[in-house]
A and B are shown apart, each in its own frame.
Chain A
Amino acid sequence: MAEKQTTKTTYQIPIGPIHPALKEPVMFEFEIDGERIIDVDVQLGHVHRAIEWTGMRRNPIQIIYLAERICGICSFVHPFAFVRAVENACDIEVPERANYLRVVHGELERIASHMLWAGVAAHEIGFDSVLYLTWEMREKVLDLTEILTGNRVTKAILTIGGIRRDITEDLKPKIAETMKYLKDNYKHLAHVYLDDKTFKLRSQNCGILTYEDALKLCAVGPTTRASGVKKDVRVDQPYAAYSDFDMDYMTPDKLTGEVNGDVYDRIITRLLEVKQSIELIEQAVDQLPAGDLVSEPKIPKLLNYIKKTAGEGIGRDEAPRGEVIHYVKFDGEHEEPYTWKVRASTYNNILPWIPMLKGEQIADIPIVAASTDPCMSCTNRVTVIDQNKRYMLDKEQLHKLSVQKTRRLMK
């Protein structure tokens, strides 16, 4: 007697590019078995805006403001990386005071970004009252940003070879006031995120990224530090004035003594970094050295100097989400850069989604995806569209194209 056989099949769920659970357009294809996720595929390229192409037709001063608009939240670190790339390419020295001020603004942005992330994470698990609590604190940081730079979000504070606005003596009490407010409220915030039952239920043992995977997939920023990898550009290769401060990698074992690499650890890492940033700002404002703000105040002279310089440079810095790299090349004849390449931090943090999401439930997708703090508009750098058909390039094809280009250039 033949037994009746039933075969279980998996099914696919596409989520995105436009979906209420996603803040920015990204396309997921999930392979689902019952409630468990078996496989994940991520497709990018929905918000490609040709920023690099636009930048190659503008002079470096104009590109600063274009780089600022790569990402709304990282509106300091992107121009910072670009400015550092130009300084690297053209050998421009930055005055010490400007370096300290750059640290203050960079850390201020880190606090605002981590607060924003914390609120979004709370919203993703359905805990909206915490969203309002964190964003109330973030509002104070934005108010301080407005006082220091004149704008709330797009700060427009950097220039090649320095910084555009000074922190004068009468602004220092305002910074101290905001830092005191943040420190007073930090305790309660940490208590809510680390001890609350709702957070623990949803974040512990959820979306685990192991130490090995984090290393193998080149994750950056808080995502990798939460897995115990000691990687931070500010400590590894100190830029600006970071080498003057005593700072360490913020891994979750500093607080709990163990590393799990789950969503809860990513929350701990970011909270610890907020505290670290507050301390850094206080130290930087205290130790602010006297001196110039810019090395070359005459912009036409600076542009003329860059025009005559041939060379290439790399600028990297630690964004709230991880390492940002800008590459720029000047040919010595034109003001416009010959090449400008941006690598945003989310680009590295996309692949870790796959080990994080495998084996999780469908309902965990938003919080796990949000736990890396993804920023799609930063990431989308290349889209290949041929007669409205997207196609993938494998290694051999890329090699072939590369050879063709070399031949074309040699003619």
Chain B
Amino acid sequence: MGFSMLGPVFKQMFKKPWTNKFPAKYQPNNTTKYLADVAAGKAKINPPVPTPEGFRGKIQYDKEKCIGCKLCMKVCPCGAIEFKEKEKKIKIYLARCCFCSQCNDVCPTKCLSMGDEFLLAGADPYEKDLVVE
């Protein structure tokens, strides 16, 4: 049979686009101004698709529970975890993290967990948002 894709292509013309326009529905004229507006509360962000249950996002660290056993450092595949000798606590560099959640599995006190925050791009790998401590 001839052209089997003609039907679906015509149907597609009357369908809504699948893509969720995030963070803005249309490209703003000035991105920095748009971001400043969002920060000031003048403009709104088009919400992202919600993350499913069990999503592996930014690591949450409960400092009080941590006993400084260094097991997470031993299994971390990317060496993203640093030990603070004085405090006997850890410091996680998210710029190196590969989101495998192996540290959560190995932790004896369950002080680590995966959050659902995924917007983790930054110009500086050591900026405040990208270091968990």
Report whether B99 and A151 are in contact in the complex, using a CB–CB cutoff of 8 Å: yes
Q: Establish whether residues A61 and B1, one from each chain, have CB atoms under 8 Å apart when the complex forms.
A: no
Interface centre among A59, A62, A133, A195 (most CB of B within 10 A): A62
Q: Which of A33-85 contact B (CB under 8 A)?
A: 58-59, 61-66
**Could you tell me if B18 and A59 are in contact, using CB atoms closer than 8 angstroms?**
no
Interface pair B77/A65, CB less than 8 Å apart: yes
Q: Which residues of B contact A400 (CB under 8 A)?
A: none
Report A122-138 CB contacts with B as 1/0, cut-off 8 Å. 00000101100100100
Chain A residue contacts of B3, Cβ below 8 A? 196-198
In the complex, whether A156 has a CB less than 8 A from a CB of chain B is yes
Select B5's contact among A65, A130, A136, A165, beta carbons within 8 Å: A130
In A164-208, the 8 Å CB interface with B consists of 164-165, 188, 191-192, 195-198
Report whether B4 and A65 are in contact in the complex, using a CB–CB cutoff of 8 Å: no
Most chain B CB within 10 A, of A127, A133, A150, is at A150
Selected contact of A156 from candidates B8, B56, B74, B76, CB within 8 Å: B56
Assess A59 versus B98: contact at CB under 8 Å? Given A136-B18, A164-B105.
Answer: no
Given contacts A65-B100, A197-B2, whether A58 and B77 have CB atoms under 8 Å apart is yes
* Min CB gap B117→A, angstroms: 14
Binary CB contact string for chain B from 1 to 18 against chain A (1 if under 8 A, 0 otherwise)? 111110011000000001
Asked if B4 contacts A129 (CB within 8 A), the reply is no
Determine whether the beta carbon of A165 is less than 8 Å from that of B100: no
A257 at the interface (CB under 8 A from B): no
Known: A129-B8, A196-B4, A197-B2. A61 touches B56 (CB 8 A): no
B75 touches A299 (CB 8 A): yes
- Cβ-closest chain A residue relative to B51: A146
User: Which B residues lie within 8 Å of A66 (CB)?
Assistant: 77
With a CB–CB cut-off of 8 A, which chain B residues contact A192?
4-5
List the A residue with the shortest CB-CB distance to B100: A156
Q: From B4, B53, B100, B105, give the contact of A299 (CB < 8 A).
A: B105
A residues in contact with B98, CB < 8 Å: 65, 154, 156
How near does chain A come to B32, taking the closest CB pair, in angstroms?
30
A150 near B77 with CB under 8 A, answer no
State the CA gap A382–B70 with chains docked (Å).
35
Q: How far is the CA of A271 from the CA of B18 in the complex (A)?
A: 25
Assess whether A300 is interfacial by the CB under 8 Å rule.
yes
Name which residue of chain B comes closest to A151, CB basis.
B56
A129 and B9 contact, CB distance less than 8 A: yes
Q: Say if the beta carbon of A147 comes within 8 Å of chain B.
A: yes
Q: Let me know if A61 and B9 touch, CB within 8 A.
A: no
The residue in chain A whose Cβ has the minimal distance to the Cβ of B8 is A133
B2→A133 contact, CB < 8 A: no
Asked whether, in the complex, the Cβ of B56 is within 8 Å of the Cβ of A300, the reply is no
Q: In the complex, which residue of chain B has the Cβ closest to the Cβ of A294?
A: B105
Say whether B114 faces chain A, with CB atoms less than 8 Å apart.
yes
Residues of chain A within 8 A of B60, CB atoms compared: none
Asked if A133 contacts B75 (CB within 8 A), the reply is no
B56 contacts which chain A residues (CB < 8 A)?
Answer: 150-151, 156
User: Contact string, A274-299, partner B, CB cutoff 8 A, digits 1/0?
Assistant: 00000000000000000000000001
Q: Is residue B83 within 8 Å, beta carbon to beta carbon, of the partner chain?
A: no
* A139 CB → nearest B CB, Å: 8
Q: Which residues of B contact A151 (CB under 8 A)?
A: 56, 99
For B8, B75, B98, B106, the residue with the greatest tally of chain A CB atoms inside 10 Å of its CB is B75
B52 and A147 contact, CB distance less than 8 A: yes
Kindly provide the distance from the CB of A407 to the nearest chain B CB, expressed in whole angstroms: 37
Q: B55 at interface (Cβ–Cβ under 8 A)?
A: yes
Report yes or no: A195 in contact with B100, Cβ–Cβ below 8 A: no
| New A-B contacts (6) at CB < 8 Å, excluding given A61-B77, A62-B76, A129-B9 | A62-B77, A150-B114, A156-B100, A156-B101, A197-B2, A299-B71
| Across the A-B interface, the 9 shortest Cβ-Cβ residue pairs | A65-B77, A156-B100, A62-B77, A150-B56, A192-B4, A195-B1, A150-B54, A147-B52, A299-B106
Instruction: Mark B residues whose CB is within 8 Å of A.
Output: 1-5, 8-9, 18, 52-56, 71, 74-78, 98-102, 105-106, 114
